[in-house]
Each structure stands twice: as structure tokens, then as C-alpha cells.
Amino acid sequence: MAQVLPRRSVLHIDCDCFFASVEMRDNPALRDIPIAIGGRADQRGVIATCNYPARRFGVRSAMATAQALKLCPSLLLVPGRMALYREVSQQLMTLLQEYAVQLEQVSVDEAYLEIDPALDAAALAQQIRARVKQQLGISVSVGVAPNKFLAKIASDWNKPDGQFEVLPAQLDAFVAALPLVRIPGIGPAQEKRLALYKLRTCADVRQWPLTELVRTFGRTGALLYERSRGIDHRPLSLERVRKSVSVECTFARDLYSAEECLQQLPALWQRWQQRLERSGCDSAALAPFVKVKFADFSLTTLADGQERASPEGFGRLLQQALQRQPKAVRLLGIGGRFAEADQQQLALF
């Protein structure tokens, strides 16, 4: 007899351009002009977030500041105030906790709430949005659905300052029409590979049996089978599990040789040791990895669970990583990931 799972009601709360929203709250003159929080272009800065007027020019998070300024010459760069953002984040999570049977904080500006399924979830979402705007002066978008996967997609449906509910009666049709790239974990490279098999939407995936999906795509195939049917049994995680400890550095000028790159390791090692000490982690328990971003913004990472997390071990990994692409280097990073994360093939950064 098939197991009957209890009905769930999950809300995904996502702040709208969080850092920029806090800055616009404190300085209303910034509301209608393109602004971004990020590093300076002459120091190879990167955009952390930007407001919606800036996004209309094509500016995006994680974009190089120099590129953002080319797209939007009038873009105003605002220095970040991380202590303030953390304070506002804590205020937000305290507010959300009042409504949650369980709460999972994903980041400073994002959380899942499991609520009593007997309640009117849409009305609750509207109440949360109103209280956040009134008490914190920022806006959030909310997705309402029977699980985490669909709630996250729904929160992006009516951004900014909106909400969307995936009702049980609409679930099948809603999911069938979803492009596969909307599934968390399916990036542009995977999207291209899937397109080679004429798989572009969840409806396309439904034509494949589970065995064929797993044979062709491995664990991603199993994920596709479930998500294309709107299935996600993951409970909310009450503890945020640290996956890795890492440091990185973007250089003011490109590095053109392996020798130049290796010369940066002592400083990175020292910073990594300081971060380990603050986090209470033991380097002996971590599997080391290196990250290299080249001048053309292509990226490679290399990990070896059998290598030691030592200056010599990182040096060997870095030399191997640099052999993958004979290009100038703009960023180097080193780190270690926990055994559990390594077994689950979690993201390095």
C-alpha cells in the first residue's frame, strides 16, 4: 500500500535586492536611480547586488563592476555595510519565526517557513509582506507551495514585492510547463546537455522512464524525474550545515605564470588558517581544493580527498589546476570541505 504523505504548506521568503533595499530605505533619494553594492572597478570589484533600475540596464549580481559600469555608466556604487545588513537580517528572521512551525534560514535574505497547513497560506504571506515593509522598511517576495522546490520557484514569479501560490489543483500543469533551467541545480551547462536529448521542459522529462534518466544522467536523472512531477520530500533543515571553509583573492593585475600564482599561496594560507581558527575547524578533517578564475572569467576547481590540506598540498593542486587552461589568472582561492559534503558532491564555494 502506497504511503500517504501529510499535506504540507511551505513559504519561501526572498528579500528583493536586499542590500540595495536597505540602502534605499535609509536614503530614499537612491530609490529611483541605478545603484549597486560592490567593489570598485579599479580594484577588480564585483557587484554583490543592485536595485531594479540598475537591472533594467543588464546589471546583475556577481558581475564585474567594470562590466556593470559599461552597461550603466550612471550606476552609483554604494559601499556595503555588512554589519547593518546582518542586523536587518536578524530582525527579519525573528519576525518570520512568529509564523513558522519550522524555519530554515538559507542566507541573510532568504528563508523557508513550514506553516500549519490548516491556515490560509496566501493570507499569511500577505500579512508577512505587510509587516516586513512596515517594520523593516524593505520588501520581500513570497512563494507558497506544498514543498521547498515549488515554493522557491513561486517566490520569483511576481518579483519584486509580490507573491504567488502554487495550488494543488494547478500543480501538475504549472510544473509541466517549467523550463528545466528553473530547477535548482540545473545550470546553463546542464541545460545545454539536456537540450541535446530534446529535454527542455518538465513535460519533456515526463516522457522518459526513471531507469533511462538515471542511466543517461546519473543522480541528476533521478532529481529530474522527481522535480518534473513536482515531487520534493525534503524537510526544512533546522541547522545550517557548513559545507566548506575557504578564502580567495582577486588580483589588481592578472598573473601570467605558475610561479606568480604559487607566490600567492602563503598569504592565502595565512588567511585560511585565521578563518579556520575563528570557525573552530580542524584542517586535518577537511579535503583540500583550489579555485582558479582566469582573465576571461572561466573557472576551474580541483579537489583531492587524498591530498593533505597543507601549503605543499595546495601547491600541488594549484599546479594541476593551472595546467587545465594556459591563460592569465585573475583570482585564486583555497579551501577545504567536510567529509560529509565531499560525499554528497556539494558545491565548493
Q: Which residues contact 286 (CB under 8 A, 6 or more apart)?
A: 244, 245, 309, 335, 336, 337, 338
Active site residue 212: no
Catalytic residue selected from 110, 114, 165, 307: 110
Cis (ω within 30 of 0) for the bond into 235?
A: no
The radius of gyration of the chain from alpha carbons, rounded to an integer in Å, stands at: 22
3-class secondary-structure state, position 175: helix
Cα–Cα distances in angstroms (integers) from residue 62 to residues 29, 209, 331, in the given order:
25, 37, 14
Residues paired with residue 113 on neighbouring β-strands, in sequence order: 11, 103
Q: DSSP secondary-structure letter at 194? A: H
Cβ atoms of residues 261 and 316 within 8 Å? no
User: Which set of grid coordinates corresponds to residue 277?
Assistant: 581558527
The Cα–Cα gap between 185 and 346 comes to 11
The catalytic residue positions are 110
